[in-house]
Amino acid sequence: MHRLFNPKTVAVVGASEKEGSVGFLIMKNLLDQGFKGNIIPINPGHHQIMGKKSFARIEDADSAIDMAVIATPIGTVPEIMESCGTAGLAGVVIISSGGKEIGLKGRQVEETILQTAKKNNLRIIGPNCLGFVNTGASLNASFAHLSPLPGKIAFLSQSGAVCTSVLDISHRNHVGFSHFVSLGSMLDVDFADMIDYFGSLNSVGSIVMYMENITHIRNFMSAARAVSRVKPIIVLKAGRSRAGAMAAASHTGAMAGEDALYDAAFQRAGILRVNEFEELFDCTEFLAKQRRPGGSGLAIITNAGGPGVMAADALSAHGIEPARLGAETLGQLDRILPGNWSRGNPIDILGDSGRDIYLKTARICANAPETDALLLICSPVGTMDILGLAKALAEEIKTFPCPVFTAWIGGVNVESSRKVFNEAGIVTYDSAERAVRAFKNLYQYGKHIEMLHEIPIRTDTKLVINRQKATQIIHEAVAAGESSLTETGAKELLKSYGIPVNVTKIADSEQMAAEISEQIGFPVVLKICSKDILHKSDCNGVILDLKTPAEVMAAYNSIMKSAGTFAPDAQIKGVSVQKMQPKADYELIIGAKKDDHFG
């Protein structure tokens, strides 16, 4: 992977001087980016392309090649792959579309390409991709219309259109990237490979992904769990709805899978999932320009009441309350703010306060011990010089000890202020809600990582597992044509796996129920025992806290009568008798299913 992303020599198969063609754009980007290595055009119809000597085939090149970008019809790729293997390349980027996304014929071509790659130890990015950029190596091996600015974020996407859209916005907001990778159909290199690789690079500080499906899920989970502990990973997973999943399938040729499972998998792997493109970029910008908040204590400063209220509402909607200002902080603010200021958080300094008051308020709040992050809001109201304030804050914020981000709310009148912040590398949004959402997401990521680092409480209890007994219980139930176990059978199965269960015995008469109750000890619980009645409460089949033999016998008769009325044809073994347990701190219901993707 290192040689693929850091080649000394790059071949462009399908290189062209025809403006607007993919081969032309790839050559142009390689040259314009200032790649220091050797660039070799491959095109049998030319002797020279863009000042570089051209060759008919990979094998004809006059120097060793590390990586090739292939921009020819996909039907020609298998033969080119053979040439790449013979020439000892590390890998290829296949721009060509027309693979599995078009059906059987495309899948067959892709399979031939993959087998050739495996035979020759070649790695493949694509097909049906935009290419990739490594800003640290001044390498733009793509046909994107822009080159990303340098930075520490690695961006991965299955969609070329999402790549180019992010590029556009990143230039406007001055957000930089270490790597920009369009994975396309992921015939070989996938998200797991890239997370594993980027996790090892000091030049990468965080990983942001647009995803439509995952291949090799076990590898993905293993890589993500390891890397997310040290580098934030954010994903926008498309295909949440059935319509979206079908659209993703037609795009990359792979089904998206059941969305709830992705939610659980991402959380388990320490990945922050966002649901909208705007949200993805907002988090990306935050990561690019600010460190993550260390806690939920957000202080909000505003020059108008309404935006402050909106910020507080947005924060509350995410289950977080604004930081409670301490007595010392309140005292400092009282000394500089008008007498009718809000005296709480959000801190409304009022519209007629000047720039200096806003700056002093920001300094106090940024240094307050209760502040984990600071949101600065400004609207074009009163006498406030919003552009002058932005210029002053752009310098001041760099000295603050906590993460600071801004929301300059408005249209044309505030664009120049946002530009000041963007050029200074300060996070800025156009609404309080967007700013709060970005804060919430990055704080939530921190909570996910805390969960990953949690270590289960150690006990001295050693599980004794009787696999033979467990297998016997299951095989006997299957042989009997049963689709479920009775309560006693289920508890026996749990017990065989070393999981503690309460003593449970079956009684088929009121007298037997009373005798078992006296043996177990009062109070007891009686439950209907029938493989045909799974939800016992539906037939009043559970009676709790029985304290005497008389109560037990009456409960037995009541349960049997109710069950007989509820399900006349049910096979009823009697009732289960068990000790009444103390009220539990938690009640846990565990369900499982076999998924086509996750297993």
Q: What is the pLDDT of residues 372-405, one digit of tens each?
A: 999 999 988 767 788 999 999 998 998 999 999 9
CATH at residue 63: 3.40.50.720
- Same domain? 305 vs 328: yes
Average of per-residue pLDDT across 471-489: 90
Boundary (domain end) residue, out of 470, 501, 532: 501
**Alpha-carbon gap, residue 431 to 466, rounded angstroms:** 60
Largest CA distance in the chain: 102
- List % helix, strand, coil for the chain (3-state, nearest 5): 45, 20, 40
Share of the chain above pLDDT 70, in %: 95
Of 87 and 411, which is predicted with more confidence? 87
- 186 Cβ partners below 8 Å, 6+ apart? 158, 215, 252, 254
Do residues 116 and 11 both lie within one domain? Answer: yes
378: which residues sit within 8 A by CB, 6+ positions away? Answer: 302, 303, 358, 384, 386, 389, 390, 406, 407, 408, 409, 414, 417
Check pLDDT > 60 for residue 246: no
> Do 528 and 420 fall within a single domain?
no
Residue 16 has a pLDDT of 95
Q: Is the pLDDT assigned to residue 243 strictly greater than 90?
A: no
User: Once rounded to an integer, what is the mean pLDDT over residues 214-232?
Assistant: 91
Number of domains in the chain: 5
Considering the domain architecture, whether residues 312 and 443 belong to the same structural domain is answered as yes
What pLDDT is attached to residue 241? 59
- The answer on 176 and 249 residing in a single domain is yes
Asked whether residue 190 carries a pLDDT value surpassing 60, the answer given is yes
The most confident of the ranges 6-15, 212-221, 375-384, 434-443 is 6-15
Q: Of 453, 475, 492, which one is at a domain's C-terminal end?
A: 453
Q: Of the ranges 131-135, 237-241, 324-328, which one carries the lowest mean pLDDT score?
A: 237-241
Task: For residues 493 and 381, state if they share a domain.
Answer: no
Q: Quick one: 199 and 330 in the same domain?
A: no
- Does residue 177 lie in a domain region? yes
CATH number at 572 reads 3.30.1490.20
The answer to whether 527 touches 575, Cβ cutoff 8 Å, is yes
Could you tell me the sign of the dihedral formed by the alpha carbons of 131, 135, 138, 144, in that order? Answer: positive
Mean pLDDT of 239-243: 63
In a domain, 159, yes or no: yes
- 254, 274, 289 — which closes off a domain? 289
Task: State the Cα–Cα distance between residues 266 and 235, nearest whole angstrom.
Answer: 9
Please give the structure tokens belonging to residue 248: 């993703």
233 domain residue, yes or no: yes
Q: Are residues 236 and 363 in the same domain?
A: no
- Tell me, yes or no, whether 225 lies in a domain: yes
Residues 510 and 424 grouped into a single domain: no
For residues 263 and 509, give the distance between their C-alpha atoms in angstroms, rounded to a whole number.
48
Residue 40 is predicted with a pLDDT of 97
Burial of 381 (0-12, 13-18, 19+ CB in 10 A): middle
pLDDT of residue 118: 95
pLDDT at 571 over 50: yes
- Give residue 245's pLDDT: 53
**What is the chain's mean pLDDT, rounded?**
90
In a domain, 82, yes or no: yes
Q: Determine, yes or no, domain membership for 34.
A: yes
- Residues 561-572 have a mean pLDDT of 92
Tell me if 596 is assigned to some domain.
no
Same domain, 303 and 423: yes
Parallel/antiparallel/unpaired status of strands 347-348 and 131-134: unpaired
pLDDT at 346 > cutoff 70 = yes
Alpha carbons 63 and 9: distance in angstroms, whole number: 8
The answer to whether residues 466 and 543 belong to one domain is no
Average pLDDT over residues 191-195: 97
Q: Hey, which residues does 468 pair with through a beta bridge?
A: none
Roughly how many angstroms between the first and final C-alpha of the chain, as a whole number?
28
Identify whether 599 is part of a domain.
no
- pLDDT for the residue 351: 65
For residues 225-234, average pLDDT: 91
Residue-number span of the structural domain to which 106 is assigned: 1-146
* Radius of gyration of the chain from its Cα atoms, rounded to whole angstroms: 32
Q: Could you give the CA distance from residue 462 to residue 478 in angstroms, rounded to a whole number?
A: 30
Q: Is the pTM of this model over 0.85?
A: no
- DSSP 8-state code for residue 271: P
* Domain match, 478 and 494 both: yes
pLDDT score, position 251:
43
